[in-house]
Amino acid sequence: MAAMNLVSAGVHSFNLKAGKRFSISKPKGCKLGPRAALVEAGPRGDGSPAALQVSRGDLAADLQAEARAMARAANASVYSPELLANKYGSRPVQAAKRTLEILVALGSFALQLLVDQRNGTLDRNKRKRAIELRGIFTRLGPTFVKLGQGLSTRPDLCPPEYLEELAELQDALPTFPDADAFSCIETELGMPIESLFSSISPSPIAAASLGQVYKAQLKYSGQTVAVKVQRPGIEEAIGLDFYLIRGLGFFINKYVDIITTDVIALIDEFARRVYQELNYVQEGQNARKFKKLYADKEDILVPDIYWNYTSGKVLTMEWVNGVKLNQQAAIESQGLKVLDLVTTGIQCSLRQLLEYGYFHADPHPGNLLATPEGKLAFLDFGMMSETPEDARSAIVGHVVHMVNRDYEAMARDYYALDFLSTDVDVSPIVPALRDFFDDALNYTVSELNFKTLVDGLGNVLYQYPFNVPAYYALILRSLTVLEGLALYADPNFKVLAASYPYFAKRLLTDPNPYLRDALIELLFKDGRFRWNRLEDLLIEGRKDRDFSAKDALQPVLKLLLGPDGEELRNLTIKEAVRVTEAIILGSVADTYNSAPSFIQTLMINGNGNGALAMSTADLEATMELRNQVFRIWGLLSSSENFDPALLQPILQVLQQPEGRSLGGRVVGGVTQRLAARLLQQLLRMPTVPTSSSL
C-alpha cells in the first residue's frame, strides 16, 4: 500500500492502491486537519457491494449477515493459558527481553515503596506513588493499561489513592499507521476499500489500546459509520504479557501471604475479558444484546451494527453524533443538562446491575456521549459482565440491611454476594461495618456522597479477607464515575439520592420472594408497621418513571394471602386494627371539634378530648397515624396509571375463605378495642350526686 502523500493545495490526494485515487476536499472556511478531512472515493467499480447492508427490518437477512461475520471471525483467538505456555515457553529470548523491560519498570517502583516504608513515609506518599504507577502502566503498553483499569475497580486489592489514579488511565496510546489500518480492512472484509466506502477519514478520530476508529460513509447506502480497526500485532503483545504475568501470579500465590485473593484466578478472568475484546464480532453481539435490553427507554441510544462490514478485527457501527459526558460546556451549549444525562446513566446502570444483570464493564466518560437530542449514548461493548441472579436480589437486601443498620445481617450478606467463603467468621467484620456506617448514615440519603461510602467500604474490604466479585466492583466504579461527572456540574449532587427511587420502586413492585422479604424487613420492626418508611418509599418510588401503583399492590396481596404468609397476616391484622381504629377515632374527634361549644358540653365528660377518654399525646399519635395513612393513599391514587378498578382484586380476595377470615379478625379486633375504650369512658363518667349530698 502506497504511503499517504498530502500536499498544500486546496485539494489533497494520496494513492491507496495503484490506479485508485482518493481526494480529500478542503471544507470551505476551515483549515484542513487530518482528523477533520474525509477521503472521497473514486468512481464505483465492478466490485460494488450493492446488496451488502440489509434492511433493518429484514431480520432473516440480518441474521445471515451476522453468520457471515462470525465465519470471518472463526479464527479469532481465545485465551488459553496452556497454549500461551506452549508458545512462549519455547521462546526464551523474547520472553527474557520483555521480562527485563517489565522488571526494570516495576522493580524501580517497588524499590521506591521499600524506601518509603523504611523512612516511614509510605502513607504520606501514597498519592505520589499511585501517579507514578499510572505512568508506568501507560508506558508498558496495552496489557498494562488494561491491567491498571482492572485494578482501579478492585478495592479489595488497592488502597483508595491507587483506585482513584488508576481510574484515570486513558487508552491514549500512539496511533498505528493508517496504511496498516486500511490494509487490515481490505484483508478482513475481502474487498478494496473504495468498494466499501465512498469516504473514510485519512486519520483515526479516536485511538485506544486495542485499536483505533475511523469515520466513513458506506458506498451502498450512504450511511455514516464508525469503523473500528484492531491494532496490528496486538494478540502477540498481550499474549506474551499475560504469559509472564501469570508466572508472577504463581509466585505471589505461593510466597506472598499478605494477598489472600487467588491471583491466578483474577489474572485468568481478566485475560479472558481482554481476549473477548479482541473479537469484534463478539463486541457487535454484545452491543446488540445491550440494545435489546436497555434501549427500550427513549433516552438511551445504542448504535446499530453493520454485520456485512464487520469481522474479527474490523467493527462497523452506526455513527453517533455526540459530546463526551465530561465536556460540560459543550453539552450545555446544546441546551442540555449534564445532571439529566447523569441521572439517566445512573438509572440505566441500576437496571443493568439489578434487573437483567448484563452490564457495561468499561463505563469511563469516553464511552458515554450526550447526543444533540438529549439522549445518552453508550459506546464500546468489548468488555461486558454479568451479575448472578441471586446476587441481584442480595444487593437490594444489602441496601435494606444498611438502612436498618443491621450490621450482623450486612456481614452475612457477604456470603450470598460471594465476597467471603462460608468458612470465614464474619463476627470481627461487624464492628468495622458499625464504626463506618454509623457515622455515614447520620447523613440523609440526599446528603451522603457515594464516593465517600465506596471509599469507606473499600477500607473495610481491604482490611479483611474479602474477594470482591468483578461484577460488584465494576458497578461501583460505574456509579462512582457518573457521580464524579455530576459533581463538576453540581457540587451538591449525590448519586445515592438519584438511585433511591429505583431501589424504592423495586422493593415496592418486584414479586421476587427475596425482595418481598426485604420489604417486610424494612417496613416491620418489633411487631409494628413503620408507616413513615412506606410513605418514604412511595414518595421516592413515584420519582421513577416506571413506577405503577398496580405493580405495588398486587405482589403484597399475593404474599399476604399466600400459604406462607401466616406470620405476615398476624402482623397485618394488628396493624389493620390500629389503622381502622385511628380512622374511626379520628372521625369522632373531627366531629367533636367541629360541633358547636354547647353541643360539646353535652358530650360525655365534656373534657378536651370529648368522648375518647384519650390523653393529648395519644390523640395526637392517633391523628398522625390516620393522616399518614390518608397521605399514603393519596400517593397511590395520584400515581400514573392508577385506576380504582385496581381495588377489585382486593374485594374478590375478601370474598374467599382466607379473605373472609382475615376481614373477620380485623373487624373483631377493632370491635374489641372500641368496646374497651367505651368501657373505659363509662368507668370515668362523673358520679351523679344524690339528694342527700345536696
Residues 6+ away with beta carbon under 8 Å from 371: 301, 320, 321, 322, 377
> Would you state the pLDDT for residue 29?
36
CA–CA separation, 430 vs 596, rounded Å?
60
pLDDT interval class at 310 (50, 70, 90): very high
pLDDT interval class at 24 (50, 70, 90): very low
Q: Which amino acid is at 377?
A: A
Residue 73 pLDDT greater than 80, yes or no: yes
> Would you state the pLDDT for residue 504?
83
Strands, DSSP E only, in 426-484? none
- DSSP string across 9-65: SSEEEEEEETTEEEEEEPPTTS---TTT--EEP-S--TT--TT-SPPTT-HHHHHHH
CA–CA separation, 20 vs 43, rounded Å?
9
Q: State the span(s) of the chain assigned CATH 3.30.200.20.
A: 178-234+277-385
Grid look-up 504511503 returns: 3
Query: For the domain bounded by 178-234+277-385, which CATH number is listed?
Result: 3.30.200.20
Residue 675 pLDDT greater than 70, yes or no: no
Strand pairing report for 300-301 and 376-378 = parallel
**Which grid coordinates belong to 108?**
524501580
**Which grid coordinates belong to 369?**
456521549
Predicted confidence (pLDDT) per residue in 553-562, tens digit: 566 666 666 6
Pick the closest to residue 105 from 152, 160, 143, 156 (CA basis).
143
Share of the chain above pLDDT 70, in %: 71
Contact 143, 245 (CB under 8 A): yes
DSSP 191: S
Contact 539, 531 (CB under 8 A): no
Give the three-class secondary structure for 547.
coil
> Would you state the pLDDT for residue 557?
66
The pTM assigned to this predicted structure is 0.71
Q: Which amino acid is at 39?
A: V
Residue 137 pLDDT greater than 60, yes or no: yes
Contact 671, 573 (CB under 8 A): no
pLDDT interval class at 385 (50, 70, 90): confident
> Would you state the pLDDT for residue 624?
79
> Would you state the pLDDT for residue 693?
38
> Would you state the pLDDT for residue 112?
93
Distance of CA 603 to the CA centre of its chain: 62
Burial of 508 (0-12, 13-18, 19+ CB in 10 A): buried
> Would you state the pLDDT for residue 374?
94
What count of other Cβ atoms lies within 10 Å of the Cβ of residue 546?
Answer: 15
Mean pLDDT (whole number) for 228-246: 92
> Would you state the pLDDT for residue 28?
36
DSSP 231: P
> Would you state the pLDDT for residue 688?
43
Contact 213, 204 (CB under 8 A): yes
Residue 380 pLDDT greater than 80, yes or no: yes
> Would you state the pLDDT for residue 95?
93
Geometric angle at alpha carbon 390, from 386 and 393, rounded to 5°:
100
644 vs 19, residue with greater confidence: 644
- DSSP string across 250-273: HHHHHH-TT--S-HHHHHHHHHHH
> Would you state the pLDDT for residue 397?
82
Mean pLDDT (whole number) for 187-214: 92
Mean pLDDT (whole number) for 278-297: 94
Give phi and psi for 469, each to the nearest 5: -60, 150
Grid look-up 418486584 returns: 510
Mean pLDDT (whole number) for 650-672: 61
**Which grid coordinates belong to 435?**
464504626
> Would you state the pLDDT for residue 328?
84
Predicted confidence (pLDDT) per residue in 578-615, tens digit: 777 777 777 777 776 776 766 656 555 444 444 455 66
Mean pLDDT (whole number) for 537-561: 71
Residue 687 pLDDT greater than 50, yes or no: no
Residue 368 pLDDT greater than 60, yes or no: yes
Give the three-class secondary structure for 378.
strand
Rounded to the nearest 5 percent, the helix, strand and coil shares of the chain are 60, 10, 35
Distance of CA 487 to the CA centre of its chain: 18
Mean pLDDT (whole number) for 406-420: 85
Pick the closest to residue 213 from 147, 167, 280, 274 (CA basis).
280
Predicted confidence (pLDDT) per residue in 430-452, tens digit: 888 888 887 766 665 455 666 66
pLDDT interval class at 690 (50, 70, 90): very low
Residues 6+ away with beta carbon under 8 Å from 532: 628
Pick the closest to residue 177 from 12, 14, 30 (CA basis).
14
> Would you state the pLDDT for residue 201?
96
DSSP 691: G
Strand pairing report for 211-218 and 376-378 = unpaired
Catalytic residues: 362
* Sign of the four-CA dihedral 234, 237, 240, 243: negative
> Would you state the pLDDT for residue 349?
86
Pick the closest to residue 475 from 592, 348, 601 (CA basis).
348
Give the three-class secondary structure for 228.
strand
Name the average pLDDT for the chain.
Answer: 77
> Would you state the pLDDT for residue 317?
96
Predicted confidence (pLDDT) per residue in 488-516, tens digit: 677 777 777 778 788 888 888 887 777 77
CA–CA separation, 353 vs 336, rounded Å?
27
CA–CA separation, 473 vs 390, rounded Å?
17
CA–CA separation, 80 vs 11, rounded Å?
50
Give phi and psi for 75, each to the nearest 5: -95, 15
Share of the chain above pLDDT 90, in %: 26
What count of other Cβ atoms lies within 10 Å of the Cβ of residue 248?
Answer: 16
pLDDT interval class at 212 (50, 70, 90): very high
Rg (CA), the chain: 33
**Which grid coordinates belong to 124?**
504520606
